Amino acid sequence: MTIIDRKKSKEYYKNHPRFIYNLDETSKKSAIGNKAQNLRFLQKKNFNIPLTYVCNFEAFDLYRRRSINLISNLKQELKFYIEDEKSYSIRSSANIEDQSFKSFAGQFQTILNRKGIEDISESIIKVWKSHEDVKPQTYSKMFSQNPNQIKMGVIIQEMVNPQFSGVIFTRNPLTGLDEVIIESVDGLGENLVQVGVTPERWVYKWGDWIEKPHAASNKEKIIDQIVQESIKITKKYGVPVDLEWAFDGDNIYPVFQHVGGKAMAQGMHTDIFDNAGFLYCQAKAEISFGIAAPLARRHYNFPG
Q: What is the pLDDT of residue 69?
A: 95
7 and 146 housed in the same domain: yes
Q: How far is CA 55 from the centre of its chain?
A: 15
- Report the domain count for the chain: 2
Q: Going by DSSP bridges, is the β-strand pair 110-114/88-94 parallel, antiparallel, or unpaired? A: antiparallel
135 and 181 housed in the same domain: no
70 and 144 housed in the same domain: yes
Q: What is the pLDDT of residue 166?
A: 84
Rounded CA-CA distance 243/228 in Å is 13
- Determine how many CB atoms are found less than 10 A away from the CB of residue 78: 21
CA nearest 176: which of 290, 258, 270, 102? 270
115 and 198 housed in the same domain: no
Q: What is the pLDDT of residue 167?
A: 85
Instruction: Give the CATH number of the domain where residue 114 resides.
Output: 3.30.1490.20
Percent of the chain, pLDDT > 90?
Answer: 37
Rounded CA-CA distance 210/202 in Å is 8
25 and 124 housed in the same domain: yes
194 and 275 housed in the same domain: yes
- Residues 110, 278 contacting (CB under 8 angstroms): yes
- Residues 192, 293 contacting (CB under 8 angstroms): yes
Q: What is the pLDDT of residue 121?
A: 97
Instruction: Give the CATH number of the domain where residue 171 resides.
Output: 3.30.470.20
Domain of 19, in residue numbers: 3-158
**Length of the chain as a residue count:** 304
Last residue of a domain, one of 158, 182, 197: 158
Torsion, Cα 213 258 273 177, to 10 degrees, reads 50
181 and 128 housed in the same domain: no
184 and 296 housed in the same domain: yes
E strand residue ranges, 95-219: 110-114, 152-158, 164-169, 180-186, 200-205, 208-211
140 and 70 housed in the same domain: yes
Last residue of a domain, one of 158, 188, 206: 158
Last residue of a domain, one of 158, 190, 222: 158
Q: What is the DSSP letter of 219?
A: G
199 and 277 housed in the same domain: yes
Q: What is the pLDDT of residue 120?
A: 98
222 and 136 housed in the same domain: no
20 and 37 housed in the same domain: yes
Q: Which amino acid is at 73?
A: N
pLDDT along the chain (304 residues), means of 10: 72 94 94 90 87 96 95 96 93 71 59 93 95 60 60 92 87 88 76 61 93 83 92 86 86 69 38 30 33 34 35
